[in-house]
């Protein structure tokens, strides 16, 4: 059997919280910010959790994360 490997791109983008949820950064905050409103950019600050419908994909990409 081949070794299970972590997707390194996913390991750089996600962190598993102690409660078992996965923390991710917000999208749409990198460029083309001039046409976005200040309110929109303010709500994109900080991190948020990965939705529970995507947790199966997270478990495949991060097999050693204990998900």
Give yes or no for a contact between 67 and 22, defined as CB atoms under 8 angstroms apart: yes
Assess contact for 22 and 50: CB atoms under 8 A. Answer: yes
Average pLDDT, the chain: 95
pTM of the predicted model over 0.85: no
Predicted local distance difference test score (pLDDT) of residue 34: 97
| pLDDT tens string 15-66 | 999 999 999 999 999 999 999 999 999 999 999 999 999 999 999 999 999 9
């Amino acid at each position: 059997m081949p070794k299970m490997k972590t997707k390194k791109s996913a390991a750089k983008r996600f962190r598993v919280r102690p409660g078992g949820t996965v923390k991710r950064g917000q999208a749409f905050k990198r460029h083309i910010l001039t046409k976005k409103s200040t309110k929109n950019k303010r709500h994109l600050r900080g991190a948020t959790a990965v939705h529970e419908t995507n947790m199966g994909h997270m478990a495949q990409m991060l097999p050693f994360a204990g998900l």
